[in-house]
Amino acid sequence: MRWRFWISVTFVVCFLSYSMVAPVFANAGDEDILEMDLDSLMDVQITSAGRKSQVLSDVPAAVYVIHREKLLESGATTIAEALRLVPGLQVARINANRWAISSRGFNGTFSNKLLVQIDGRSVYTPSYSGVYWDLQHVMLEDVDRIEVIRGPGATLWGANAVNGIINVITLPASDTQGGLVSLGTGTHEKFMAGARVGTKLNTDTYARFYAMGNDRDSFVKASDGSDGNDGWKNSQAGFRIDGDNGVRHTWTLQGDIFQVDSEQDVTPPFPPDSGSLVDSVKSHGGNILGRWTLKDSNHDICTVQAYYDFNTRDEFSLEQTHHTFDMDFQHRFQPARGHDVVWGMGYRMVRDDFANTFQVQIIPETQTTHLFSGFAQDEITIIDDLLWLTIGSKIEHNDYTGVEIQPNVRILWRPGERHSFWTSVARAVRTPSRMEASGKIIQGIIPFPVYTQISLNGSPKYDAEKLIALETGYRYAAGKNFSADISLFYNRYTDLGGIVSGENQWSMYFANNMEGNTYGMEVSVTWLPVEWMETEVTYSCLQMDITGDEYSKKTIEETSPSHQAGLRLGIDLTKNLRLNLWARYTGKIKFVDFTNTDLYRHVIDDTFSLDANIRWRINGDIDFTVAGQNLLDGDFMEYGSDGYLTPIEIQRILYAKITWKF
C-alpha cells in the first residue's frame, strides 16, 4: 500500500511544479480563482449553528462550510461524495448506491447519531434513526452551501443531533433565474442529466422548476470480481417559490417528488445452501415545505415552518412507509442590551406502516408517534467585541423515553480581529428507533437437529443513548491568503446501544449495556500562495474506548478510521480553465462479514485516493468538466457489508459533464 502513497505524492509534486510556471499561460490578473477572498470566507453568514444568521468566525462550534464553488470543483456527483471534504466526517462508499457516513465515530450503514437536513427538512428515517443516502438527491447546481456542525447540536435541533448536523441549503429562486441544462456520462455514471428554469412571477415573487435523473452502473464483488448487482437509478423533480410581501414579510414554498430503483446482492441468514439473491429495491416519495418570516429588524425575527414528507421503500428484508408532519416556530429578539435570544417550539408526527417479512418484523406494523419540543438560547455579551457567553436548553417529550433535557454552555473569545477561541459543554441524547423498541431480526437458522431461529429483538426497556461533550477550538484568518481552523473534543457516552443474551443463547436483545469515551482533533488549513492557486489541507484523528459486550465494542471501535487526511489543490491554468486535484488518506478499518457463516472480520488497510478534474468555462455560459475518481486504484473496498450485503469493490470512475446556462 505504501507505493500508492508515494505515487500520489509524486503526482501532486509534478502538478505543483507545473503550477509554478502556469502564469506563462494564464493571465492571473484577469480573474481571481475564488469568488471571495479568505477574509470574506471567514465572514460568511451561516444559520445552522445558532438557528440565526451568524458570521462563521463568531460561531462557538466546530463548523465547516462547503461553498457552492468548492462543491462544483470537488468533482462530486452526489451530496454524500461532497461530504468527504469535511474533516471529522467518516465517509465511505459501501457499494454503488449505499454509503456509511458519520461524525466523530460510530460509522456504518445504519449510523444514527447524525442529523441531516435539506433546507430545514429532516431526512432521517424513524425505522432506525439514520439516513438512506441513496434517496437524498439535490440538483448540485442549485446548492448554495452545505453547513456541517461537528459535535452536538441538540439544544437547538433536538434528539439525534448527537455527533453532528448536516444542513444542505439551496439557493433562493431569485438567484436561479433563466435556464440551465446539464448532461453527463462516463464509465460508472452511465447517464446524468438535469434541467432547471427560473422565472419571475410578479414584482416580488420568483420561482424555479427542475427535473433530474441519474443511471449508475454496478461495481464488482470483492470475492471474485463478478458483477456486484448494485446498480442505481433515480429521477426527481421539484420547485421552489420565494416571495417578499413588502420589507417585513418573506415566504418560501418548495417541494419534490422522487423515484429510486436500485439493486443489492444479498445473502439471507438461512441455511448455507440457500445462496445469494439479487434484490430489487424500489423507493418513491415526495415532500412539500412552507416557511414564513416576519422581520421587524435584524434582531427581531419570527419564523414559522411546516412540512409534510412521504416516502416508501420496498426491499427483500422489509417494506416500509413513513408519513411525517412537522411544525416549527422560532422567535429571535433582544430583550435587553447584551442579550440575543432565540426561542421556539415544535411538533412532529410520524405515522409508519411496515409490511413484515420472515427476516424482519416490527410490531405493531402500523404506529403513530408524537414529538413535542421547546427550546431557548441566549447569547450574552460579557465584554463588547471581546467575550460572549451562550447558554440554552431544549426540552422534548417523545413516546419512547418521555422527557429529555439537552442543555449547552458555550464561550467565545475574540482577542483580535483575526483570532477566535471557543469552548463548549453540551448534553445530547439519541432516542430509540422503532427497530430498537419493537423489532425482530432473524440473524440465522440452525436446521438440525431442531429447527432454531437466531434472532435479535427490540426491547420496550431500551432507553435513550446519552452524551456529555466537551469541545474547544481556534480560528485564525491572516488577511486574504491564509486561514486555519482547529477543534478538539472529548465525548463521554453512557447507555450506548449494545446486545445482551435473552432467555436462551439463540435470542438476543437490544440493550443499553455500552459506554465509553471518544476524543480527537480536526484541522483545516486554507492557503493561497499565489492568486491563481488555492490549497487546502485537512486532517482528523479519532480515538475510541468503548466498554461492554465484546461484539458491539469491536463493531463500534473498528469501523471508523483513527486518522484521515486530505489535500485539495485548485490551479487556474488560464482565465477559463481550472485544474482541481484532491488527494485523500483514510486509516485502517475492520468490519464483520455477515455473508460468511464464520462471521469473518475483514480488514481494510490504509487507503490513498486521488480525484482530479478540469473545468473549462466557455463564454461564461457553458461549463465543461472532465473528471476522474479513485485514479490510483481501480478495484478496492472502502467499507464492509453491514447486514447481509455482499462485500463490493469500488472501481475507478471517469466521466464528462457539460452545463449550459441561458
Specify if 318 maps to a domain.
Answer: no
Inside any domain, residue 295 = no
- Residue 601: pLDDT band by 50, 70, 90 thresholds? low
d(CA 582, CA 86): 13
Q: Please spell the DSSP secondary structure of 425-490, one letter per residue.
A: EEEEEEPPPHHHHHEEEEEEEE-SSS-EEEEEE--TT---EEEEEEEEEEEEEETTTEEEEEEEEE
**Interatomic CA distance for residues 424 and 426, integer angstroms:** 7
Range of the domain at 398: 2-273+324-661
| Three cell numbers written together for 422 | 471557543
Res 8 pLDDT > 60: no
In the 8-state DSSP scheme, what is residue 171? P
For the ranges 63-67, 321-325, 595-599, which has the lowest average pLDDT? Answer: 595-599
The order of strands in the sheet holding 220-221 is 220-221, 648-651, 635-636
Residue 162 is placed in which grid cell? 448527537
Residue 405: other Cβ atoms inside 10 A: 12
The per-residue pLDDT for range 88-145, each reduced to its tens digit, is 999 999 999 999 999 999 998 889 999 999 999 999 898 888 899 999 999 999 999 9
**Does the pLDDT value for residue 242 go beyond 90?**
yes
CB 377 within 8 A of CB 390: yes
CA distances from 510 to 294, 312, 315, 342, 394 (A): 46, 25, 23, 37, 27
The verdict on residue 490 lying in a domain is yes
Most confident of 242-246, 494-498, 589-593: 494-498
The answer to whether position 173 is within a domain reads: yes
CA triplet 617, 621, 624: central angle to 5 degrees?
Answer: 40
**At residue 121, what is the residue type?**
R
- Provide the number of structural domains found in the chain: 1
Residue 346 has pLDDT above 80, yes or no: yes
149 occurs within a structural domain: yes
| CA dist list (Å): 592 to 306, 589, 603 | 41, 11, 9
Closest CA to 361 of 308, 320, 415: 320
Query: Is 282 within a domain?
Result: no
Q: How far is CA 234 from the centre of its chain?
A: 19
pLDDT at residue 298 in the model: 76
Count of C-beta atoms within a 10 Å radius of residue 633: 17
**Does 521 reside within a domain?**
yes
The predicted model scores a pTM of 0.91
Segment among 27-31, 486-490, 589-593, 626-630 with least mean pLDDT: 27-31
3-class state of residue 256 by DSSP: strand
Nearest CA to 369 among 317, 326, 406?
A: 326
Give the type of residue at 247: V
Tell me what pLDDT residue 477 has. Answer: 87
Angstrom distances, CA of residue 493 to CA of 113, 434, 470, 513, 544: 12, 21, 12, 11, 11
Residues 513/61, Cβ–Cβ less than 8 Å = no
173: left (phi over 0), alpha (psi -120 to 50) or beta: alpha
For residue 269, is pLDDT > 50?
A: yes
Q: How far is it between the farthest Cα atoms of the chain?
A: 81
CA distances for 281 relative to 229, 259, 284, angstroms? 11, 11, 10
Nearest-Å Rg of the Cα atoms of the chain is 25
Q: Is 13 left (phi over 0), alpha (psi -120 to 50) or beta?
A: alpha
CATH code of the domain covering residue 78: 2.40.170.20
| Domain annotation covers residue 319 | no
Q: How deeply is 306 buried, as exposed, middle or buried, from its count of CB atoms within 10 A (0-12, 13-18, 19+)?
A: middle
Residue 17 confidence (pLDDT) above 50: no
